[in-house]
Structure 1
Amino acid sequence: MIVLYEHPLSPYVQKVKIALREKSIPFELRRAGGRGPGVEQDDFLDGNPRAEVPFLLHEGLRLFDSTIQLDYLEDAFPDPPLMPPDPAARAQARSIEEVMDTHYEAVNWGLGELRYFRRADGRDAADLKAAARRQIAGFHAWLEGRLAPGAEWFCGPFGRADLSVVPFLNASAGFGFPPPEGSALIAWLKRANARPAVAQTVAEARAAVAEMANVHKAVEAGRFRRQYRDHRLEWMIKSGGLQVVLDGIGRDTIRFTPEID
Structure 2
Amino acid sequence: MLLYEHPLSSYAQKVKIALREKGVTFTAELPETFGTGRTDGPFAAANPRAEVPVLVDGEVRIFESTVILEYVEERWPEPPLLPRDPAARAQARMTEEVCDTQYEAVNWGFGEILWFRRADGALADHLRAQAAAQTKTLQDWLAGRLGEAEWFGGASFGWADAAAAPLVNRSVHYGLGPREGSRLARWHARVRERPSVARTFREFDAAAARMAEAADLYTTGGRRREYRDHRLEWMVKSGGVEVVLAGLRDLNIRFPWPEGSARPAADAS
Taking structure 2 as the reference length, the TM-score comes to 0.93
Matches within 5 A, 1:231-250: 231-250=230-249
CA distance in 1, matches of 2:150, 2:18: 18
Counterpart of 1:155 in structure 2 is 153
Displacement after TM superposition at 1:215 (Å) = 2.3
Structure 1: unaligned runs, 5 residues or longer = none
Indicate the percent of aligned positions where both proteins have the same amino acid: 52
2:46 aligned counterpart, secondary structure: coil
CA distance in 2, matches of 1:190, 1:88: 27
Conservation of the 8 A alpha-carbon contact between 1:33 and 1:39: no
Flag as ranges the 4+ runs of structure 1 deviating above 3 A: 37-41
CA distance in 2, matches of 1:136, 1:248: 25
Displacement after TM superposition at 1:214 (Å) = 2.5
CA distance in 2, matches of 1:68, 1:143: 22
Query: Could you report, residue by residue, the CA deviation over 1:161-197 in whole angstroms, capped at 9, with x for unpaired residues?
Result: 0010010001011111000112111000100000000
- Code of the residue aligned with 2:204 in structure 1: it is A
Counterpart of 1:90 in structure 2 is 89
Counterpart of 1:23 in structure 2 is 22
Is the alpha carbon distance of 1:38 and 1:255 closer, same or farther for their aligned partners in structure 2, counting shifts above 3 Å?
closer
- Code of the residue aligned with 1:17 in structure 2: it is K
2:77 aligned counterpart, secondary structure: coil
Query: How many residues were matched structurally?
Result: 258
Is the alpha carbon distance of 1:87 and 1:234 closer, same or farther for their aligned partners in structure 2, counting shifts above 3 Å?
same
CA distance in 2, matches of 1:55, 1:78: 20
Deviates more, 1:244-253 or 1:203-212: 203-212
2:210 aligned counterpart, secondary structure: helix
Taking structure 1 as the reference length, the TM-score comes to 0.96
Q: Give the CA RMSD over aligned residues.
A: 1.3
CA distance in 1, matches of 2:251, 2:223: 10
Structure 2: unaligned runs, 5 residues or longer = 260-269
Query: Could you report, residue by residue, the CA deviation over 1:19-68 in whole angstroms, capped at 9, with x for unpaired residues?
Result: 01000001111110123344475211113121011111002111111100
State whether structure 2 residue 212 is matched by structure 1 residue 213.
yes
CA distance in 1, matches of 2:77, 2:146: 25
CA distance in 1, matches of 2:38, 2:50: 10
Is the alpha carbon distance of 1:130 and 1:82 closer, same or farther for their aligned partners in structure 2, counting shifts above 3 Å?
same
Displacement after TM superposition at 1:7 (Å) = 0.8
CA distance in 1, matches of 2:250, 2:57: 38
State whether structure 2 residue 58 is matched by structure 1 residue 59.
yes
Conservation of the 8 A alpha-carbon contact between 1:119 and 1:244: yes
Counterpart of 1:143 in structure 2 is 142
